[in-house]
Structure 1
Amino acid sequence: MKMKDHQRQSSDRISSLPDDIIEKILTFIPIRDALRTSVLSKRCRYCWTGMQKLVFDDRLINVSSDMGVVKKYKLVITIFHVLLLHKGPISELYIHISDEEIVNEIDQIILHLSRSKNIKKFIFEVYRYDGYYKLPCSFFSLHGLEHLSLKYCVIEIPSMFNGFSMLKSLIFVEVDINATMLQRFLISCPLLEEFTWIGRYVTDFIGDNKCTFVDLFKCLPSVQAVNISRFYNKDFYAGVMSQKLHTPLVYLRILVLQVCFGKQDEISSTLCVINSSPNLEKIKFKMLRYVGQTFNTSFLDPQDYSGLNLDHLRELEITNFHNYAPEMEFVKLIMAKSPLLKKARIELDNSISVDIEVKMLQDLVLQPFPRASTSAKFIIERPKKLPVKAN
């Protein structure tokens, strides 16, 4: 009997592990499987309730696609069940729901989360066929947030909103928010270090509700990394009258933009931000194609930017390069002002033929331009072809 007890104890090594180790292990498996571990032993029955990372998505419920109503309510019930029994802080919470008929239930879930005030990282995506999901007022009570990612949401900030004082990272993907609300949101996040804004057509950033590219950066005095892409409103880049912001962006290290260098306002706005960021370490641009006549690029002359000193820039990357004159002049300007630059990589657009590429290389050899860094690698590449899937 003693031998059997010894064998049984030695075979159950998992149950003998400390609680924090078991919780760590559970975070590496789907939450559906983590819940199933409660039947393994009395010791494991409630281990999942201390998991600090929770992921809720459509894979949580194993129901056939023709049972949509059942799947919808099983998903909601499961989320409530986990959250009600959960103990301790939640370091990371991911919710992805692709059912447009459970808006009221989602509101109740967020209301419950707002009462705990212990969520640090929240990734929230709701895909609806009939429009975006409007965040309820209770969402703005998640004061402990440090990282927030929203997708397909509508934001209308309530009057009692005092900001997310702990927020360090913010990601907006297809988020509907007007200019006034956006500026108020950003200003209310004093510790914000990373900001990503992707994929919203800014039609309402004009008139009394105006917000320009430069205005946006005025709301980000402590930001270290910015990623902005897929904007097509010309008024968003208008109104730049100076080469620098009044308050420099001394913390900005990484700048990622999708820009069109066929429009002088966009170039001027972009250069204003770069010229106001003395500690930039990486610049990455994805160029947009434009149709129209080229303009005078004399304002990109390095001599006109005697005060531009990119003493910390080490990497310049440009994709979708069309070989427009403003694009090349911009590259020359940056390389002439970056003494510590290690690599300048240009990936050509698919529309660039081999003949144009050869001519571009010949022009660079015949007309060398000044470089502040003699050790910088200047790389020109063609876009990589995606692998063709076999039928």
Structure 2
Amino acid sequence: MTKRCKFFYAICQVLLKHQGPIHEFTLSMRANGSCVEIDHILLNLARRNTVKKLKLDLNGEYKLPVSLFSLHRLTDLQLKDCYLACDPSFNGFGSLTVLYPEGLIIDENRLLRLLSSCPLLKRLTLNYDDNFYTSVTNLFKCLPVLEYLSVWSFIASFPLPNELPTMLVHLKYLRMEYACSGHEEWLDFFVFFYQKLPKLGETYLGK
């Protein structure tokens, strides 16, 4: 039996023998393309439906199965280096308050739909290696109670809206790096947010 097989066998045995709820689960490994073993692990977690914090660092292009969308009790979700295609029947993560998708392979429409399905989301960190284009208005419309936003290499050069959505009054922390192309845009962006967001206590804009 290979080390990889032994690794998955050990995880499955622990999950099968564990009788109580599982509130946190972390898996960090390389998984390119499909991986039946990870599919089975996530399906097992979905059947229990007790996980509140899930971290998947898969260092590849593993396609997450639809069973992920059955984890309705999630409050903290971290997805790194994997592929996500939203299930058409997905009704949302109603309890999710923290989302950290780093290097997540997903198109703009699916990402905005994912964000819109998390009505209680308070902390969002978007970390991408390549510029991911979307309008600032479309992004913020998905985040009604957001308090913490950290963005890296996500929003390229864009015109600022005249007004921000009223729901952004909750935003307390804003960090944006490599999000605009010119110095003047950075300055305008900083002034705009500082004036429009009454609760904003800490802001960092860098490049």
Scaled by the length of structure 1, the TM-score of the pair is 0.49
From 150, 168, 171, the counterpart of 1:249: 168
Distance 1:156 1:99 in 2: 17
Q: Is the 8 A contact 2:8 2:37 kept in 1?
A: yes
2:20 maps to what in 1? 88
1:228 maps to what in 2? 151
SS of equivalent to 1:183: helix
1:121 maps to what in 2? 53
Cα separation, partners in 2 of 1:101 and 1:170, compared to 1, 3 Å = closer
Cα separation, partners in 2 of 1:166 and 1:227, compared to 1, 3 Å = same
2:96 maps to what in 1? 167
Distance 1:266 1:107 in 2: 43
Superposition CA RMSD, Å: 2.1
Q: CA deviation at 1:154?
A: 1.2
Distance 1:146 1:193 in 2: 10
Distance 2:5 2:181 in 1: 50
Q: Which has the higher strand share?
A: 2
1:282 maps to what in 2? 202
Distance 1:101 1:238 in 2: 34
Q: CA deviation at 1:157?
A: 0.5
Structure 1 stretches lacking a partner, 5+ long: 1-68, 206-210, 289-391
Task: Say which structure, 1 or 2, has more relative contact order (CA 8 Å, 6+ apart).
Answer: 2
CA deviations over 1:111-146 (Å, ceiling 9, x no partner): 111111100100111123xxx111111111110100
Higher CA-based Rg? 1
From 85, 97, 113, the counterpart of 1:184: 113
Distance 1:101 1:219 in 2: 30
**1:256 aligned partner, one-letter code:** R
Structure 2 stretches lacking a partner, 5+ long: none
Distance 1:195 1:186 in 2: 9
1:134 aligns with 2:134: no
How many positions carry a matched residue from both structures?
Answer: 206
Distance 1:182 1:273 in 2: 23
**1:189 aligned partner, one-letter code:** C
Q: CA deviation at 1:200?
A: 3.8
Identity %: 33
Cα separation, partners in 2 of 1:127 and 1:241, compared to 1, 3 Å = closer
Scaled by the length of structure 2, the TM-score of the pair is 0.90
Q: Is the 8 A contact 2:140 2:165 kept in 1?
A: no
